[in-house]
């Protein structure tokens, strides 16, 4: 294991985002409250609309207002988009150790949400929380990538990836996998404990939600997006986790037909 350690502190959030996090932590936020809060920060609104209107979301019509964006996507998804924007502002964006561009990274995050939302509703699961987690679960990779590059471990990491899965390689270099790193960040940024635990344990899932996210992270990953290999690996995992294979296959077919 290397001597790399996580920073003791992370960048602080702007006031509007801190208030948003406080509201989510204390209650189930309603759309109007979120819209009023975001409209107080025009620059943040502009960033949200830019992301929402990107090709990754596959929306047919352009979204021109924050109220329209929130009503269409829901408060939890917009929160995820806001936090993703803050992530990009707070850390250097270089994913060289994972051999992907930021655009590819964004596509992975958005495609996971689309895949999850294409599944039938499950009364056992909090689909809004899962959608937000699907969008933000790879946040830790931005941090681990920076640490790997700063400490000149890129070659060692690349060599490990030849024989190990990503989670195992990250643990050898950082001491924890990127989902655990994301959990540390989300705790610092005042996400509720349920969300933080959901993301932190994706690579060693216990709950149905964590298992589903693990399957999705295998299906649409930095190593491949809906490739034959990732589809086979994801369906094998789903079998072990006793998830409904037919439902997943239907969703995979639907997403592939969209591409």
Question: Mind giving me the DSSP string for 38-82?
Answer: HTT-HHHHHHHHHHHTSGGG--SS---SHHHHHHHH-HHHHHHHH
Judge whether 77 lies within some domain. yes
Q: What is the pLDDT of residues 102-111, one digit of tens each?
A: 889 988 988 8
- The CATH number covering residue 254 comes to 1.10.3210.10
Domain boundary among 35, 64, 90: 90
d(CA 143, CA 32): 33
Share of the chain above pLDDT 90, in %: 45
d(CA 36, CA 41): 10
Q: Average of pLDDT values for 209-223? A: 94
Same domain membership, residue 76 and residue 146: no
Within a 10 A sphere around the Cβ of 233, how many other Cβ atoms? 18
3-state class (DSSP) for residue 138: coil
Pick left, alpha or beta for residue 80 (phi over 0 → left; psi -120 to 50 → alpha; otherwise beta): alpha
Q: What is the pLDDT of residues 20-76, one digit of tens each?
A: 888 877 766 778 888 888 888 888 888 888 888 877 666 778 888 999 988 887 887
Residue 141 has a pLDDT of 95
Which structural domain range is residue 82 located in?
11-90
Q: What is the pTM of this model?
A: 0.86
Q: What is the pLDDT of residues 118-154, one digit of tens each?
A: 899 887 888 878 988 998 999 999 999 999 999 999 9
């Amino acid at each position: 294991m290397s001597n790399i350690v996580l920073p003791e502190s992370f960048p602080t959030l702007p006031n509007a985002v801190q208030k948003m996090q406080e509201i989510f932590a204390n209650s189930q936020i309603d759309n109007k409250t979120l819209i009023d809060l975001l409209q107080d920060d025009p620059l943040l609104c502009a960033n949200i609309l830019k992301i929402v209107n990107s090709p990754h979301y596959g929306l047919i019509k352009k979204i021109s207002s924050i109220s329209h964006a929130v009503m269409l996507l829901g408060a939890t998804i917009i929160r995820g988009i806001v936090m993703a924007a803050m992530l990009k502002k707070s850390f250097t964006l270089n994913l060289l150790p994972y051999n992907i561009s930021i655009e590819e990274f964004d596509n992975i995050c958005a495609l996971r949400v689309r895949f999850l939302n294409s599944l039938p509703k499950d009364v056992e699961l909090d689909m809004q929380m899962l959608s937000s987690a699907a969008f933000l679960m790879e946040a830790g990779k931005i941090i681990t990538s920076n640490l790997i590059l700063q400490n000149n471990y890129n070659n060692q990491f690349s060599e490990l990836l030849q024989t190990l899965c990503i989670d195992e390689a990250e643990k050898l270099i950082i001491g924890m996998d990127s989902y655990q790193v994301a959990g540390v960040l989300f705790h610092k940024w005042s996400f509720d404990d349920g969300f933080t635990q959901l993301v932190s344990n994706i690579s060693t899932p216990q709950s149905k939600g964590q298992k589903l996210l693990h399957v999705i992270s295998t299906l649409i990953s930095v190593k491949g997006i809906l490739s034959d290999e990732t589809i086979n690996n994801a369906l094998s995992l789903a079998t072990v986790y006793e998830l409904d294979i037919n439902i997943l296959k239907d969703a995979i077919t639907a997403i592939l037909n969209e591409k």
